[in-house]
C-alpha cells in the first residue's frame, strides 16, 4: 500500500450520482420533482434549525428531512474524511469550508437551483473563504466575545486583558477549549493579526496563556455558558449565541466583544461530495434561504442571519440586539479565521499541548 486513497465512492453514492445526472438530463430543475427518493440527510449542529422548519419543508416539497447532529467542525471533518457515509447537506464553519474545499470534500453548487440566493445580503456573497460562493451559502454568523456576570465584574469587561493578563478575576475565568481560537485571540490581544502564522509570535501568544494559567479555571469545551449560569465562573470566552441563550434565563449575565476586536465566524450550508440526494439538497437549501422560513429559523435560534429578506421580517428586539448584531465598530475590528494549512494546525496543536502540560 503505497498511497492511501481514502475516498472510495460506495455503490450507493455511485447509483445516486448517476440518478442525479439522469435527473438533470431528463427533468427541468424543479424543486421536489426528481428521480431521487424523497429524502434529504441533513447533518447539523444541535438546536440550529427552526422548530418547525423540517416539517414545513416536507409539507411544501414532500421531501422528508432526516437530521443528524454533530458537535464540532473537527468531528464533522473527521467523519467525512474517509468518504461520505450518506449526508446531503452539512453546516461547516468558514475555515472548515476552506479545508473541505482544499480536500475536495464539497460539491459545487448549482446556483440556478437556488433562486433564493437573491435574499442573501450582498456583503456575504464574496467572502475570502469561498469566493463567488461556489461551494457554500451563508447560514448564520456571529462573534466570539466575553460573557460575564454583571454583579461580579467591575463595569464592562471590554478588553481581552481581563481574560488573558489580569488576576483580578483569578479562578473565575473560563476560556474556550478550541486550541486555534484561544491562541488566535491571544494574538489579537497582543496586537498581531488574528491569523498570525509566525511561529515566534504564536509562541509568545502561548507564553501569555501559560503565564495566565493560574487565574484560568478551565478551558471549557463549549459549555462556558453553563459555567457562567451556575456561578462556577464570572467571565467566559464564548460564542455570542450561547451567551444569548443564558441571558434569557438570567438578567445578571451580559455579553461584550472586547475593544481589541473578536473573532467573526460564519456557518454555511454545503453539499458534501458523494451526497446521495443532491437535487433534494439544493431544494432544501433553497427553502432554508426563503424569507419566511429564514425568519422563523432566526427567531428560534437567535443567531444573526445573513438573509436580508428574512431580517427585514424580524422585529427590533432581534435586529437591534447588540449581542446578535454587534456594532459596526466591533465588526470592523474583528477578523475571520482563515485555514492556513496542515503545518499551522500541527504547530497550534503542539502549542496547545504545551499550554496544557505547563
Partner 1 sequence: MEDWRRTPLVFWVTSLPPTLWLVVFFLIPLALVWVMSFGELDGLIDIKITGTLANYARALDPLYLEVFGKSLVFAGFTTVISLLVGFPVALAIVFASPRWRPILLLLVILPFWTNLLIRTYALIAVLRVRGFANFSLEWLWDQGNTVLALMGLGSYQLLGDRFEPLELLYNNTAVVIGLVYVHMPFMILPLYAALERLDRSLIEAALDLGASQFRAFLTVVVPLALPGIISGGILVFIPALGSFLTPDLLGGTDSQMIANVIERQFKGANDWPFGAALSFLLMYLTFAALTVRALVNRRAERRGGA
Partner 2 sequence: MNLAALFRHREPIGPLEYTRRTWMRLTLLATFVFLYAPIVTLVAFSFNDSRRNIVWRGFSLKYYEKALANDGLIEAFVNSLTIAFVQTIIATILGALTALLLWRFRFPFRGGYEGAMALPIVIPEICMGVAMLAFFSRVGWPTDLPWPLNLSAITIAHVSFSFPFVAVVVRARLEGFNREFSEAAQDLGASEWQVFRDVMVPFMRPGLVAGALLAFTLSLDDFVITFFTSGPDTVTFPVKVYSMVRFSVTPEVNAASTVLIALTVVLTVLALWLQSRAKLKPEEVAG
**Using an 8 Å Cβ cutoff, are 23 and 35 in contact?**
yes
**From the list partner 2, partner 1, none, partner contacted by residue 55 (C-beta under 5 to 8 A by kind):** none
Cβ at position 301, least distance to partner 1 in Å: 22
Beta bridge partners of 120: 307
165-184 binders of partner 1 (CB under 8 A): 171, 177-180
Q: Mask: binding to partner 1, 223-252, rule CB under 8 A, as x and -? A: -------xxx--------------------
Classify residue 331 by burial, with Cβ atoms within 10 Å: 0-12, 13-18, 19+: middle
Question: Using CB distances below 5 to 8 A depending on partner kind, what does residue 68 bind out of partner 2, partner 1, none?
Answer: partner 2
Q: What are phi and psi of 39, to 5 degrees?
A: -140, 145
Residue 77 is a binding residue for partner 1 (CB under 8 A)? yes
Binding mask 41-80 for partner 2 (x = CB under 8 A): x-x-xxx------------------xxxxxxx--x--xx-
Which string of x and - marks every residue 210-239 that binds partner 2 (by CB under 8 A)? -----------xxx-xx--xx---------
From residue 294 to residue 313, the character string flagging contacts with partner 1 as x (rule: CB under 8 A) and all else as - is --------------------
| Contact predicate 302/245, CB 8 Å | yes
Q: Is 8 in the site for partner 2 (CB under 8 A)?
A: yes
Q: What are phi and psi of 90, to 5 degrees?
A: -125, 165
Q: Cell numbers of 125, please?
A: 456573497
> Is position 345 an interface residue for partner 1 (rule: CB under 8 A)?
yes
Q: Which one of partner 2, partner 1, none interacts with residue 218, CB within 5 to 8 A by kind?
A: partner 1
Report the distance separating Cα 43 and Cα 96, nearest Å: 15
Measured between alpha carbons, how far is 118 from 251 in angstroms, rounded to an integer? 38
The pair phi, psi for residue 252, each rounded to 5°, is -80, 0
Q: Give the one residue of 99, 113, 149, 277 binding partner 1; rule: CB under 8 A.
A: 99
Cα–Cα nearest to 144, from 188, 205, 185, 90 = 185
The DSSP 8-state label assigned to residue 128 in this structure reads: T
Q: Judge whether 138 and 310 are in contact, CB under 8 Å.
A: no
Interacting residues with partner 2 (CB under 8 A): 6-8, 10-12, 41, 43, 45-47, 66-72, 75, 78-79, 82-83, 85-87, 221-223, 225-226, 229-230, 242, 245-246, 249
Amino acid at each position: 500500500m503505497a498511497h492511501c486513497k481514502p475516498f472510495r465512492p460506495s455503490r450507493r453514492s455511485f447509483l445516486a450520482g448517476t440518478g442525479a445526472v439522469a435527473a438533470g438530463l431528463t427533468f427541468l430543475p424543479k424543486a421536489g420533482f426528481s428521480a431521487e427518493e424523497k429524502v434529504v440527510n441533513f447533518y447539523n449542529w444541535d438546536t440550529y434549525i427552526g422548530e418547525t422548519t423540517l416539517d414545513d419543508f416536507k409539507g411544501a416539497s414532500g421531501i422528508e428531512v432526516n437530521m443528524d447532529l454533530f458537535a464540532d467542525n473537527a468531528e464533522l471533518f473527521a467523519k467525512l474524511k474517509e468518504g461520505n457515509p450518506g449526508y446531503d447537506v452539512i453546516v461547516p464553519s468558514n475555515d472548515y469550508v476552506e479545508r473541505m474545499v482544499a480536500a475536495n470534500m464539497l460539491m459545487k453548487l448549482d446556483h440556478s437551483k437556488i433562486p433564493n440566493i437573491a435574499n442573501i445580503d450582498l456583503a456575504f456573497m464574496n467572502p475570502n473563504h469561498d469566493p463567488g460562493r461556489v461551494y457554500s451559502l451563508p447560514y448564520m454568523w456571529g462573534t466570539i466575545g466575553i460573557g460575564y456576570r454583571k454583579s461580579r465584574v467591575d463595569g464592562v469587561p471590554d478588553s481581552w486583558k481581563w481574560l488573558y493578563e489580569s488576576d483580578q478575576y483569578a479562578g473565575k475565568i473560563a476560556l474556550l477549549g478550541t486550541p486555534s481560537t484561544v491562541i488566535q485571540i491571544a494574538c489579537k490581544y497582543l496586537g498581531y493579526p488574528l491569523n498570525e502564522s509566525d511561529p515566534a509570535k504564536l509562541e509568545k501568544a502561548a507564553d501569555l496563556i501559560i503565564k495566565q494559567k493560574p487565574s484560568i479555571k478551565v478551558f471549557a469545551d463549549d459549555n462556558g455558558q453553563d459555567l457562567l449560569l451556575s456561578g462556577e465562573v464570572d467571565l467566559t470566552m464564548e460564542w455570542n449565541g450561547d451567551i444569548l441563550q443564558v441571558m434569557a434565563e438570567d438578567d445578571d449575565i451580559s455579553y461584550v466583544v472586547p475593544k481589541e476586536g473578536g473573532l467573526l465566524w460564519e456557518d454555511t450550508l454545503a453539499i458534501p461530495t458523494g451526497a446521495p440526494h443532491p437535487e433534494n439538497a439544493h431544494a432544501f437549501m433553497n427553502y432554508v434561504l426563503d424569507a419566511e422560513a429564514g425568519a422563523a429559523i432566526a427567531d428560534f435560534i437567535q443567531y444573526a442571519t445573513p438573509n436580508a429578506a428574512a431580517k427585514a421580517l424580524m422585529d427590533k428586539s432581534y435586529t437591534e440586539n447588540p449581542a446578535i448584531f454587534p456594532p459596526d465598530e466591533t465588526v470592523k475590528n474583528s477578523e475571520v479565521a482563515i485555514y492556513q494549512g496542515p503545518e499551522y494546525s500541527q504547530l497550534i496543536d503542539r502549542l496547545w499541548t504545551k499550554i496544557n502540560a505547563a
